[in-house]
Structure 1
């Protein structure tokens, strides 16, 4: 879904997969070769073969630009040479592994930022990534696989791609590839099979990838259909109309709040709605010690909100429900999301629960409690 109307900007096509070894890079190279045979000027800006013979073979005959070499603290790194790509100015550039973190000392911290510069120069790009690298899925993937992905890309980047191609294989076929040594060296196979490459993990990742592509297709349909004709003509024709949803997630600056933010953002995306985040701080409570865990958590939340395109609001107030209801009214909120509360103790058990107070103080606004699946698994394990 490319919302950028600049006709001079390059075209971005992303090959998306559920895990390493599904064939994303091979598909990218095959498409690059087809474009070359069709008469286009094609180069490989950066290719990660990971020692895979078939991948290297598919790259034969395609011009490959040298990598940029950087030395940092006595260690030499090689990475995408953006100035070389811009100077060469091909029609199409192949750049592997969109979520990659760049070597220290380069102008951009992330490869997707490099790709943005190349697209801005009017160069088309083919790239690859796995679904687990989407920022909003970070917690979900950790829950599914037990592995916390450290390299992520903003979901907005994938949403702005002109084309997304799902490269799909069955979990069983992927495991067969792994056992045959087509993905990792022999010494890494057993570890992979016993961890990330369990069939149940791959099945869940595959379902996630399929759903992600389906959501992108649906988002494109919603974006495109309402642009045809006047509003009255669209209503007469039965075209679905936007309902103007807006979500508000109540958060506090602690590490677990990022999980709620990502869940809320996924909900907002399904509704094609903007997301606001609200921390109701006690009076005077916004003056945080910069070295405190709360300050670090608030900074991390600001960064996450920026990556996801959400708005972080901080309001001081004596009462969370009253303040949240006021903000909801001011900003036209239709959904309020909050995390599950800890069990009340002592006299607190006699007070009206926060969700019930929100329902009463913000009539017409849906209130949703977002479950913490990690806490649920902990309770099951303790029983």
Structure 2
């Protein structure tokens, strides 16, 4: 038997087969209604149709926007099905008809939609999952406020409780994410021009969900969320291809502290830099196990805990580690967490301590050549 042959269970084989046969999912994401997600999806679909791809519309919600309807062009539309609920006949996407038609790609608008009771699936994203399992590619649209994990945040910002949500995993597992972004001022102009809602709804929308502050906050959330997805994909790519070099894509700040009182200055500096870049930042302490390292006193422990409390109050993640070499532990942690900027204070070691143990700053600079290091004077506020 071939030594390189690896036996897998029937369940694993089936799962692998299903993954290989599964269609791809592309999602157009926006931060609010009216940014142009459906328009962009249709525009791209028509280009692909002209290039010979078999692509159809499974469900489209134009909201009677003429500019959106004009983008349908020559795209085939799969007829909807009628569903009766409480003596009212309503139209929903015909999932079975799409799977029977079996196109290469299907456009399905409004991924977070809740189906009328009586449909096979409760949510449209469940219909999409079923279609993907049939090997059909899906292109869909989504507003960022429909992500389940952001539900509380969106309510705090807008005062609106979003009822229709989808699991974050749906977006995390998507093969491609496209962010449709326009400035909040431009979106408000679109709203005032009647391109988003009917005239009688415009004034109310501008006073509520479409307030400039709301739109700015939602836009930032959408861009950050997408950046995180891209960052995770990049990390997977680097691991897959064995790339060890650090690529500066998203800023991440690491503040190196100790029980020294001057560490508070470093934490505050880290908070200011993180705020400037609006990025993740981590405060790290390493307890050295070297024989010549000074032992932690009760006073040191109290001081260090005070530093941790300040860091958390300012929004940092706090990490307390133990290791033989402080510089090596810091460098390894920085590499693992893709740190782009390190903040550390000048060494407070005596000449004898430096002779016996070396300089943490000097060693860290040698170990982190691809990371920007800020060495802060101890007397600098």
Answer with 1 or 2: which has the greater Rg.
2
Secondary structure of the 2:182 match is coil
- Aligned-pair CA distance for 1:363: 10
Paired position in structure 2 for 1:92: 105
Contact 2:107 2:140 in 1 (8 A): yes
Indicate the residue corresponding to 1:12 in structure 2: 25
Q: Tell me, what secondary structure is at the counterpart of 2:177? A: strand
Taking structure 1 as reference, are residues 169 and 363 closer, same or farther at Cα in structure 2, changes over 3 Å only? Answer: closer
Aligned-pair Cα RMSD in Å: 2.4
Change in 2 beyond 3 A, CA 1:363/1:221: closer
- Alpha carbons 1:226, 1:239 under 8 Å: kept: no
Q: 1:214 to 1:59 in 2, by over 3 A?
A: same
Query: 2 CA distance for matches of 1:34 and 1:104?
Result: 36
TM-score when normalising by structure 2: 0.60
Q: What secondary structure sits across from 2:68 in the alignment?
A: helix
The equivalent of 1:81 in structure 2 is 94
How many pairs are equivalent?
A: 240
**2:131 corresponds to 1:112:** no
1:239: Cα distance to partner? 8.9
Task: Give, in angstroms, the shift of residue 7 of structure 1.
Answer: 2.3
Matches within 5 A, 1:277-292: none
Partner residue in 2 for 1:185: 198
Residue 167 of structure 1 is matched in structure 2 by 180
In 1, Cα distance between equivalents of 2:55 and 2:114: 24
SS at match of 2:82: strand
Question: Deviation string for 1:286-323 (max 9, x for gaps)?
Answer: xxxxxxxxxxxxxxxxxxxxxxxxxxxxxxxxxxxxxx
Unaligned runs of 5+ in 2: 1-14, 249-279, 282-312, 323-381
Distance 1:209 1:43 in 2: 28
Indicate if the aligned counterparts of 1:225 and 1:239 stay in contact, CA closer than 8 A.
Answer: no
Residue of structure 1 equivalent to 2:208: 195
Counterpart CA distance in 1 for 2:246 and 2:36 is 41
Q: Which runs of 5+ in 1 are unaligned?
A: 241-269, 272-339, 341-358, 365-383
Aligned residue for 1:26, secondary structure, equals: helix
CA distance in 1, matches of 2:140, 2:182: 19
Q: Distance in 1 between matches of 2:47 and 2:130?
A: 25
* Cα-to-partner distance string for 1:64-118 (whole Å, 9 max, x where unaligned): 1110111012011111100000010011100000000011100100000001111
